[in-house]
A and B are shown apart, each in its own frame.
Chain A
Amino acid sequence: MGMNIVEKILSGHSRHGEVRPGDLVVVGVDCAVGHDLSFYDGMWDEPKAVWDPDRVVLMFEHIVPPANAQSVEALDRARAFAKRVGLTHVHDIGPDMGICHQVIADVPYARPGEILLCPDSHTCSGGVMNCAARGIGIPELIFVMAKGYTWFKVGETVRYELQGRLQPGVASKDVFLHLAGTYGDHVGQNVEFGGPGMAFLSMDQRRQLTTMCAEISAEFAVFEPDAVLQEYLAQRNVGFDGAVSPDPDAVYADVRTLDLSLVEPRVGLPDTLIHNTIPLRELPPTPINRAFIGSCANGTLDDLHDAARVLAGQRVSPSVTLLVTPASQDIYRAAAADGTIATLVDAGAVVTSSSCGMCAGFQGRLGADDVCITSSTRNFKGRMGSTEAQIYMGSSATVAASAIAGRITPADVAGALT
């Protein structure tokens, strides 16, 4: 019997031979990415040495620029560690700073057929590169830094066969909201995306899907390799040889057709996305006073372009604050160079430097009476501030249109989206 993508990558990194759901495998790790929060008080125990200083990467992104004394200490602790053990890849505050999952895809640190780990739940993001990437806890990061290996329980895999192409005005975020609303959680399962429809999705659009798979509790979320990925890697002088396709007789827990042409703009309702998203047109009138575009999923250049198309020549409602946080300084630079940042700022948005920002409650915290529409990753109760605040989720275009209107509304500009 054949194996699917995740099974083949895990098998190739273990001494296990063929692997099947239910197996526990010990695998070598190709890249371990630590972030600044790993070094916060009470989180960090320092390994004497790392298994390979070229394969351990540090990113400063949750708590930058540092807003309190403990954050300053955490960053200094990280810098001292990196220097002592001789790390070669450190993304400190500066030009190559960014949210770890964005930078992991930009450099890229996630590479086809490889295994990448990071102490952040959205690490499944890296599956866009045909890489088995997943989130771990900080003790496990420390273990992997020291030893270069870890274990996985092999989960069943659900394959999503993408067909058709998105209608104008529909975003990849809407596809995910459709998936989470329709199928709910994928606890213990891997997600594999493939099919002819993926050819019409950009790398940003694909990564929005893999990143959001953390919200359905997927283990790994991977895309099949194709010419789009190959070209993306070639632009970065990274090889494609390790790319892994599923065997023709690979086994899946389920194969589900996802017709992109049938997806319409959706909204996630407060507190969870699991079976809790609806078509935007079914939402009763919902005034908002806070809006956010950003995060590891939706701080991409595609997102900023979508928002700018909607906001060009418009004004954010006086009753709304709109924060926009590019997912990396590279994106910030590109958006500044092509005029996107100016369009957003002229419309009344506040553009911040790259970080997790509002998504994790580190900036622009919500008060008890606030109602927010966000294109970020997570809408748990209390996630972005007060436990009384309500957090709705939509595409970046929906957030931009809602910020103008002062209520949740779809972007009505046909063809507005990339």
Chain B
Amino acid sequence: MSTTVEGRVWCFGDDINTDLIQPIHAILKPVADQPRYVFEANRPGWVDEVRPGDVIVAGENFGTGSGRPAARVLRDLGIAGVLCNSINGLFFRNCVNFAFAGLECPGVRDLFVEGQTARFDLATGRVENLSTGAVLEGRRWEPELLQIHHHGGLIEQLRAEGLLVGEAT
């Protein structure tokens, strides 16, 4: 999988939590139906405006809360990645393990306004506002984490190693 993401920006504030991304009632629904409930509490109707490849730019403490697969549901909605000033450690682990591009980059929230285009690279940490030319350095993913990303996530890695029951043939 590519480590580079480029997409249209949607802006959010601080402390965007897992229950906003993936409400508990959504977890109990079929996986294919779960993306439609993203941000229903804080930005109703937003999921209908999102286009595949869009990018979320947020403030501090993105993804705080639960261990639920909130990174997966953003990925399944078509979001290409998240840039934020700071990222919850558990949410970040889920980003790595679901091969979803989450990058912590202090100050990034002020680098963008909604509708601009962001480009960033997990391998270098470089974040670029293609609409203004502004650049910031984020916290790049270590080689060990990029390895998981290249596999398409942790489950795909285990599957490739033949460690799961019911291998795809």
Q: Which residue in chain A gives the minimum CB-CB distance to B24?
A: A361
Is residue B136 contacting chain A, with contact meaning CB distance below 8 A?
no
A292 to chain B, nearest CB (A): 15
Is residue A380 contacting chain B, with contact meaning CB distance below 8 A?
yes
Is residue A285 contacting chain B, with contact meaning CB distance below 8 A?
no
Are A185 and B154 neighbours in the complex by a CB distance under 8 Å?
A: no
**Chain A positions 182-204 with a Cβ under 8 Å from a chain B Cβ:** 185, 187-188
Tell which of B28, B89, B144, B164 touches A40, judged by Cβ atoms closer than 8 Å. B28
B110 to chain A, nearest CB (A): 18
Which of B15, B31, B40, B162: most chain A CB closer than 10 A? B15
Are A360 and B24 neighbours in the complex by a CB distance under 8 Å?
A: yes
Is residue A135 contacting chain B, with contact meaning CB distance below 8 A?
yes
**Complex contacts, A380 vs chain B, CB 8 Å:** 17, 19-20, 65
Is residue B129 contacting chain A, with contact meaning CB distance below 8 A?
no
Is residue A146 contacting chain B, with contact meaning CB distance below 8 A?
yes
Are A151 and B28 neighbours in the complex by a CB distance under 8 Å?
A: no
Is residue A138 contacting chain B, with contact meaning CB distance below 8 A?
yes
Counting chain A residues whose Cβ lies within 8 A of the other chain, the interface size class is 35 or more
Are B20 and A185 neighbours in the complex by a CB distance under 8 Å?
A: no
Are A382 and B41 neighbours in the complex by a CB distance under 8 Å?
A: yes
**Complex contacts, A49 vs chain B, CB 8 Å:** 163
Is residue A412 contacting chain B, with contact meaning CB distance below 8 A?
no
Are B166 and A217 neighbours in the complex by a CB distance under 8 Å?
A: no
**Chain A positions 44-81 with a Cβ under 8 Å from a chain B Cβ:** 45-49, 68, 70
What is the bound-complex CA distance between A121 and B64, given in angstroms?
Answer: 9
What is the bound-complex CA distance between A185 and B71, given in angstroms?
Answer: 20
What is the bound-complex CA distance between A404 and B136, given in angstroms?
Answer: 54
What is the bound-complex CA distance between A151 and B67, given in angstroms?
Answer: 16
Is residue A136 contacting chain B, with contact meaning CB distance below 8 A?
yes
Tell which of A42, A151, A360 touches B30, judged by Cβ atoms closer than 8 Å. A42
**Complex contacts, A303 vs chain B, CB 8 Å:** none
B81 to chain A, nearest CB (A): 17
**Complex contacts, A153 vs chain B, CB 8 Å:** 89, 142
**Complex contacts, B104 vs chain A, CB 8 Å:** 188
**Complex contacts, A143 vs chain B, CB 8 Å:** 97, 154, 157-158
Are B144 and A361 neighbours in the complex by a CB distance under 8 Å?
A: no
**Complex contacts, A274 vs chain B, CB 8 Å:** 14-15, 61, 64
Counting chain B residues whose Cβ lies within 8 A of the other chain, the interface size class is 35 or more
Tell which of A24, A48, A70 touches B144, judged by Cβ atoms closer than 8 Å. A24
Q: Which residue in chain B gives the minimum CB-CB distance to A70?
A: B28
Q: Which residue in chain B gives the minimum CB-CB distance to A26?
A: B144
Are A188 and B89 neighbours in the complex by a CB distance under 8 Å?
A: yes
**Complex contacts, A20 vs chain B, CB 8 Å:** none
**Chain A positions 364-381 with a Cβ under 8 Å from a chain B Cβ:** 378, 380-381
Is residue A339 contacting chain B, with contact meaning CB distance below 8 A?
no
Tell which of B30, B60, B65, B163 touches A47, judged by Cβ atoms closer than 8 Å. B163
What is the bound-complex CA distance between A147 and B157, given in angstroms?
Answer: 12
Is residue B27 contacting chain A, with contact meaning CB distance below 8 A?
yes
Q: Which residue in chain B gives the minimum CB-CB distance to A24?
A: B142
What is the bound-complex CA distance between A70 and B25, given in angstroms?
Answer: 13
**Complex contacts, B97 vs chain A, CB 8 Å:** 137, 139-140, 143
What is the bound-complex CA distance between A383 and B65, given in angstroms?
Answer: 10
How would residues 205 to 244 of chain A score, 1 for a CB under 8 Å from any chain B CB and 0 otherwise?
Answer: 0000000001101010000000000000000000000000
Q: Which residue in chain A gives the minimum CB-CB distance to B86?
A: A187
Is residue A410 contacting chain B, with contact meaning CB distance below 8 A?
no
**Chain A positions 128-159 with a Cβ under 8 Å from a chain B Cβ:** 134-140, 142-143, 146-147, 151, 153, 155
Other contacts beyond A26-B144, A135-B90, A155-B89: 18, CB < 8 A: A47-B163, A134-B90, A136-B93, A137-B71, A139-B153, A142-B154, A142-B155, A143-B97, A143-B154, A143-B157, A146-B158, A185-B15, A185-B61, A187-B86, A217-B61, A274-B15, A380-B65, A381-B20
Binding site for B on A (CB under 8 A): 24, 26, 37, 40-43, 45-49, 68, 70, 119-121, 134-140, 142-143, 146-147, 151, 153, 155, 185, 187-188, 214-215, 217, 219, 272, 274, 360-362, 378, 380-383, 387
Query: Could you show 11 A-B contacts with beta carbons less than 8 Å apart?
Result: A41-B30, A45-B155, A47-B163, A48-B163, A135-B67, A136-B93, A137-B90, A137-B94, A151-B145, A217-B89, A361-B25
